[in-house]
């Protein structure tokens, strides 16, 4: 059984809804999935996980949320070499520019980025929820 952590920040619940749907999909094959709001995650436990799913909306001007998520990510990204990683998050108006930069950053960290980051405009609708469930399921199957 593989072990995954989903670590997210969400101000108004859209990225949280994505995280919950991704968790459903990732669990569907019988693997272990732990869902953390970023403040709850103990960075020292990162190495215990076979796969990591990071979620954060576009904030500021096409950046990660700067109060909590950016400091968290800056602290863990040095430990991502060869780690299977998936990215997701919600955005409002930028067309997903923050996600493209986040993908490049994770690749530069040496992580094994799974596909493209999943960026959904505002709240996930039923197609969005299905895309999240599929991401979780496919990521788990890839480990
Ligand atoms: C302070 C602030 C900055 C934002 N900056 C961007 C941005 O640069 N690009 C964008 O596409 N959306 C931006 N948004 C919109 C959010 O990404 C969008 O509302 C998203 O659905 C929020 O996700 P959440 O419910 O998980 O917090 C911003 C929202 C806020 C509140």
In the structure, what pLDDT confidence band is assigned to residue 54 with cuts at 50, 70 and 90? Answer: very high
Which residues, in sequence order, are CB contacts of 126 under 8 Å at separation 6+? none
Provide the pLDDT for residue 97: 96
Q: Which domain holds residue 28?
A: 3-142
CA distances from 33 to 51, 72, 134 (A): 9, 20, 15
In the structure, what pLDDT confidence band is assigned to residue 100 with cuts at 50, 70 and 90? Answer: very high
- How far does the centroid of ligand 1 lie from the alpha carbon of residue 37, in Å? 17
Number of domains in the chain: 1
Average pLDDT over residues 102-110: 98
pLDDT tens-digit series, residues 10-36: 999 999 999 999 999 999 999 999 999
Provide the pLDDT for residue 25: 98
Provide the pLDDT for residue 65: 98
Mean pLDDT of all residues belonging to the chain:
98
- How far does the centroid of ligand 1 lie from the alpha carbon of residue 70, in Å? 14
> Residue 122: CB within 6 Å of ligand 1?
yes
Average pLDDT over residues 91-96: 96
CA distances from 13 to 25, 101, 138 (A): 19, 22, 24
Average pLDDT over residues 111-125: 98
> Residue 71: CB within 6 Å of ligand 1?
no
Task: Supply the CATH number for residue 20's domain.
Answer: 3.40.50.360
> Residue 91: CB within 6 Å of ligand 1?
yes
Q: What is the Rg, in whole angstroms, of the alpha carbon atoms belonging to the chain?
A: 13
């Amino acid at each position: 059984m593989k072990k995954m952590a989903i670590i997210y920040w969400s101000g108004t619940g859209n990225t949280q809804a994505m995280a919950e749907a991704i968790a459903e999909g990732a669990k569907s094959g019988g693997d272990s999935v732990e869902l953390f709001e970023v403040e709850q995650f103990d960075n020292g436990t990162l190495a215990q996980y076979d796969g990591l799913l990071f979620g954060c909306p576009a904030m500021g001007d096409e950046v990660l949320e700067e109060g909590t998520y950016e400091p968290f990510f800056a602290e863990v990204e040095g430990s991502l070499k060869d780690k299977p990683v998936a990215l997701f998050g919600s955005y409002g108006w930028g067309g997903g520019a923050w996600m493209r930069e986040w993908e490049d950053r994770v690749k530069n960290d040496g992580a094994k980025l799974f596909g493209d980051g999943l960026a959904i405009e505002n709240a996930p609708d039923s197609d969005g929820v299905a895309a999240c469930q599929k991401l979780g399921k496919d990521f788990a199957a890839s480990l």
